[in-house]
Each structure stands twice: as structure tokens, then as C-alpha cells.
Chains A and B, each alone.
Chain A
Amino acid sequence: MAIATSTSPRRSKTLLIVMVVYAIYTIVPLAWLLFSSTKTQAGLFSSFGLWFAGDNAFWDNLVQTLTYRDGIFVRWLGNTLLYVVLGAGGATLLATLAGYGLAKYRFPGRRAVFAIVLGAVAVPGTALAVPTFLLFSEMGLTNTPWAVIIPSLISPFGLYLIWTFASDAVPAELLEAARIDGAGEFRTFFTISLRLLVPGIVTVVLFTVVATWNNYFLPLIMLSEPDWYPLTVGLTQWSAQAIGAGSQPIYNLVIMGSLLTIIPIVVAFLLLQRFWQSGLAAGSVKQ
């Protein structure tokens, strides 16, 4: 720990303890999920949460999860991927174009856009869900995948992030130089700016992917056809099956389903974090 030299050993010890506690706090639910995924429905209730039950049912649970009700889980997984690719992908593209434009060009109404975006960041998506539903219902788009994808395309936070990032990461001098060399605005954007924006874009991708992947309330109210559900809504429905008269608890499948649901997100984080480098353009121009 090289940084420790600048602080007293006692303080770093406290820090260490805090971090260890934090790490345990973060890891315990994940560990519980992993252990629980190996248990049968009965084993879940009769064994300690953070260790294995006698019988290992991991494979059974996996097969059952993927085949229960004609493999509806796989369908939900596909839906979620569709919403993420189109929704989060589109949101990132739009946020990048708009954020870059706002940061690098001067035009009338720029301040108004700034105010609207800042305001939009403050409004939680849940509060907008019902008005959005009424709007989409008017257009006859409810109960279609578009009702989930189109609202996902808008990411005020992503736009704001790209904007602030682009203000710093893409030096105006560099753009000037490109213009003098005769490059058009699009060429400048795609060949120069886009590369400099990559760390910002990756951040936005992660945020929008996680937001779309975890989105629950919007698809819940928009969709009434289980065939179009994303994983979040589908798993909640499985979980709710255990409650009330004539219940059919399938907690083992809910747990396995949750495990399968978080894996892609973990993979996305691991793959994308290496793009997180700032200051690509540091030293490229004289400031």
C-alpha cells in the first residue's frame, strides 16, 4: 500500500477494517445466492443459508429453470437482451451525439436544453411510468416491445455525462486543427472525437445497460403478455407464485434464475472496465 505513507498507520488500519466490512457486506448476498442455487426447495428452508445443504441440486435447478413452462425463462432472457441491445444501445448513441453536440457547438437554445436535461435527471423514472403508459396507450403501443424500448432510449443522465466528459476530453484546439486540415464535422466526430470519448461512452453504456437490465416498473405496467416480459418481471411473477391460496412455491428456480440474471451484468462489467482510462488526449495539445 504505497498510499499509506502519507497517512498514519492507525488511520489506514481503520480504513482497512471499514473496507473489509464493506467487502463482506457486498459479498454475503452473492455467496448466499451461490450456496442457495445448489439446494432443493426443501433444502432451502431446512439448512443454513451460507453453506451447502446435504444434496447438490445445482444441475437439476439449472435444467428446471431453463425448461419450466416450456422454457419461458429463455424467452425472458432473450427479451431482456433485446431491450438492452436496442434500448441501452440506442440510448448511448443518442446521448453521445447530443452530449457531444451540446458540448462542442454553440447554438440558440443551448441553455434551455441544459435546463431541461438537468431537470430530467432529477425526475425518477417511476414517476414518469404512468404518464408514459397513458401516452403509449393513446398510440396503441402498449403491450408491445416498443413500449419498453422507446422510453429506454432516453437517458438524460447519459447525455449529461457525455456532455461534461466531452467538454474536457475533446480539446477545442484539436477540433480547430481538424477543421483547418479540411475535415468535415462528421469526419472529425467519427475519426477523432469518438475515440477520445470512449471512456465516457463506456460509462454510459454500463449505466444504461444496468438500468435497462434491471428495469422493473416500466415493463410491469406496459406489458400484459408474459411472452414479452423481461427477466425482472418474470422472476417476480415466479416468486409471487409461492404466496397465497393454492401456492406453488418454486423458490429454487427463482434463485437459480436470479443467479443466471446477474451473470451477464457481471460479465459486462469485467469486459468493459478496461476501457475506463481517462486523459487519452492529455498532452496532445498545448493548453
Chain B
Amino acid sequence: MTHLTSRARRIGAVAAVGTVAALVLAGCGGGADTGGDSPAASGSLDSIKAALEKGGEITYWSWTPSAEAQVAAFEKAYPNVKVKLANVGTGNDEYTKLQNAIKAGSGAPDVVQVEYYAFPQFTLTDSLADLSVYGFGDLEEDYTASTWNSVTSGDKVFGLPQDSGPMALFYNKNVFDAAGVEIPTTWDEYYEAAKKIHAADPKAYITNDAGDAGFATSMIWQAGGKPFTAEGTDVTIDLQDAGSKKWADNWNRLVGEGLVAPYGSWSDEWFQGLGNGKLASLVIGAWMPGNLMSGAPDASGDWRVAPMPSYDGQPASAENGGGGQAVTKQSENPELAAGFLWWLNNSDESIEIFLKSGGFPSTNAQLSDPEFLGDTPEYFGGQEINKVLADAAKNVVPGWQYLPYQVYANSIFGDTVGQAYQSRSDLNEGLSAWQDALVQYGNDQGFSVNK
């Protein structure tokens, strides 16, 4: 769910400028009103189950489509608990509000939806409750390594993963066949395929990319890049490390030669292209099937899924989008909130609802469930797509980290790397410009970046 409209990005950027600084200061200074003494300094999975029986009222901010049905099922299972669900906006909008509430010292919900790329921003500023005191550390085995890594920091557990988006190659078989293209397994083959498809139909492209921060960071992730590292407020940014360069060099030929469609995802052209075959493939998160079915119904039966191409032909994937839920430090009843979170992202009942809404799971049980793996959707010509997608989840390159101000970073991607896309110039220069802006911003906000 990392894809946001440019409008949302801009607004987020405006708000972030005003809020991150204060957040960092509050984080460093111990935080004036961010919770004070935690009502429950220790507990266990049993104690949160007891809290669920006892009941109470909690607030939950989420924009995920399955939230309503999940809350209804939860309230049925635990009738003493009342969950006030509010959709306060998608992605950046919600983070803006959450940051404001944290700064103001009140107004944050008990449980909040946070995308993986935004987790560091809130954990670093001490805004989320550490759930390891309730024994959530024991849940590690239930989730895929990459998603678990995204919600934890050392021994601390700041949330539970909900959806995941291991990347795969979604392609339109008809278009590939018509152009005489085999399914590419390496990026070199992908580049050749891009040329063939564009040559066969000048209006058709192998994929689209107008410069999208979520996509670029995922691609750098797959290439083995680790451009962002953070240890407390010490941050290192190197967007010219081996992996970042590898991706930029690879993608340069596609963008530079005009082989990718120059429009953004979720645009009108994008939906049209997915439906009419002018957009032949997408390298995107495993949550895509539902969107294809609802957004491009005309192309039913044409699409297939294959592993993401890699640099050496060996399986390698990365997470693209996805997120989980966390308990805020402001929560007055963290034990109950943790109980709800535990039910939300660990119970079969809730995950079932989530899967029905078109999400892709982060839980190992579902990812190895024969029924899930054996699903053969008609839209994909009866292919067992979940087998490919579940494999992708296993092959996510480990060790990735986002910046502690990734929300802001993504919001200025268009102004820096996006420029390189527009002028079809070297993406490496765009990455360097992005890095310069991020180093300066981070230092201005009280981090010590590249020092």
C-alpha cells in the first residue's frame, strides 16, 4: 500500500516539515506526555486474553478495506470490548494526523495501521508501545522473516504484520505471446523483452514507471542494496552503494531508451493499459491480483504470474508495500489494545476475512496452507498463482532497513529522482540528488546523518 497520489504526497511533505523536528526533539527529551508510566509494564499472552474478557473501549485507525468486517467479527468474539473504528485517511494523511496527535500529547488512537516503510519513523520517536512485554516476541515464528523484521527492532516488538507484498512478475500472456517473448528470468532478458514488445506495438510497453519511491526502494532492496541504516539518531545514507547502482544501471537502459511507459501507477492510463494489453507486465507486490480483477476486468484470463526477474537468474525478491498495526504509547489501555492487535493479526478468523478482501498474508500458516496454495483463479487462466507468490515471500533478500523519516523521503522522490525520469538522464544522478536532500533534511531535523 505504498502507492499514494501525488496530492497526498505533497500534503504529507508539508506536514512532515513541521512535525518531524518536534518529534525528534520529543523523542530525545524523553517525551513530555507520550504515555508516562505504562499501566502494564509486564504481562503475557494470557494476561492480554484476560483483558479481552474483561473488556473496555479502544479506538482503531485504519483504511484497510477489511477493517470493518474484522472489527465486527472481533466484537462478536469478545462482546465486552467496543472498538471505535475510524478511517482518518490513507497513508500520509494518517501519519500526519498521528504525528500531530503524538506531538499534542493526546488524540492518538489505541491501535493504528502503519505501513512497513513508516514504522521506523514512529518507533524511533518512541511513539509506539513495545509489545514484547506481553510476550509478543514468541509470535516471531508465525510470520515471514521480512515482515517480522519490519515491525521489530532488536528485542522490541512494535506491531504485528498484516499484509505483505513480496514482489513477482505479473504479465499479460497474450501480449507476450504475440510479441514472441519468453518469460524473462533475468533483468537482461527483461530488457530484451521490453524492446521486442515495444517494437511489436509502439503503443505497448513492458511496464510503466514515472518515478515511484516505493518501487525504486523495493528494486534497490532486491538488488542487494542497503542504502539506509539507522542506529538511534545516527543515520547513514548511501544511495550509490553497490545494490543501488546495480538497479539504477539496469533501469537506466529501460527508462533512457523509452521502453517503460512514462505514467504513474493507479492513473487512468495505467488501468486502461492493464485492461487493453498496452501494459504487458508489472513487477509488483503479491497483493496485486485483487486489484487486477477489480481494476482490469476486461483482461480476465490473460494474466499470469512468474518469479521476479533477478540479476543472476537466482530467485530474489523484495517487499513492495504492506504494513501492520501497532499500539500507540498514548493508549490508556495498552493491554486491551494489544489483545485486539493480537486477535487482528494472529487469529485465523481475522486473517480469513483479510484474505477474502484480496490481501496477501504475512503469516507462515496461510502461506503453507494447501488450500491457499492450490487456489486457481480464473482471472489468471487457472494458474496456481499463490505458489509463485508464496515462494517470492521466502526469497525476500534479508537485511533491508528504511530511513527513520522515510515518509518525508518518499514525498520528495519526485523532485529529485523523478527529474531524472522526466529528462531520461542518469538515474544515478537522481539518486545522488535525493541523497543530498535527505542528508540535509535529516541533519536539520536533529539526526546526525553521514557524520
Contacts and interface: CB of A to CB of B under 8 A. Distances in A.
A185 interface: no
A179 B41 CA distance: 74
Given A245-B165, A245-B359, A246-B290, A224 B298 contact: no
A248 interface: yes
B359 A242 contact: no
A277 to B, nearest CB: 39
B291 A138 contact: no
B86 interface: yes
A244 B322 CA distance: 9
A142 interface: yes
Interface stretch (B173-181, B192-200, B268-276, B404-412): B268-276
B30 to A, nearest CB: 19
A137 interface: yes
Given A221-B96, A224-B88, A226-B87, A245 B290 contact: yes
A138 B321 contact: no
A245 B107 contact: no
B291 A46 contact: no
Interface string B67-100: 0000000000000000000111111010011001
Contacts of B105: 137
A46 B274 CA distance: 11
B25 interface: no
Interface stretch (B3-11, B130-138, B424-432, B441-449): B3-11
A241 interface: yes
A53 to B, nearest CB: 13
Interface in A219-267: 220-221, 223-226, 233, 236-237, 239-249
A249 B270 CA distance: 14
Contacts of B266: 242-243
Contacts of A221: 15, 96-97, 100
A237 B90 contact: yes
A236 B359 CA distance: 22
B318 to A, nearest CB: 16
Interface string B182-194: 0000000000000
A220 B89 contact: yes
Nearest to B273: A45
Chain A contact-residue range equals 20 to 34
Contact of A142 (B18, B19, B107, B275): B107
A220 B18 contact: no
A134 interface: yes
Interface string B1-38: 11111011001001100110000000000000000000
A237 B165 CA distance: 23
Interface in B264-312: 266, 268, 271-272, 275-276, 285, 287-288, 290-291, 294-295, 297-298
Contacts of B91: 240, 244
A156 to B, nearest CB: 21
A39 to B, nearest CB: 12
A42 B297 contact: yes
B236 to A, nearest CB: 29
B64 interface: yes
A221 B268 CA distance: 29
A215 interface: no
23 contacts: A42-B298, A44-B268, A130-B19, A134-B104, A137-B105, A217-B11, A217-B14, A220-B93, A224-B109, A237-B89, A240-B8, A240-B90, A241-B63, A241-B90, A244-B1, A244-B90, A244-B287, A245-B165, A245-B291, A245-B322, A246-B66, A246-B287, A248-B65
A-B CB proximity, top 4 nearest: A245-B287, A244-B1, A137-B104, A240-B90
Interface of A: 42, 44-46, 126, 130, 133-134, 137-138, 142-143, 217, 220-221, 223-226, 233, 236-237, 239-249
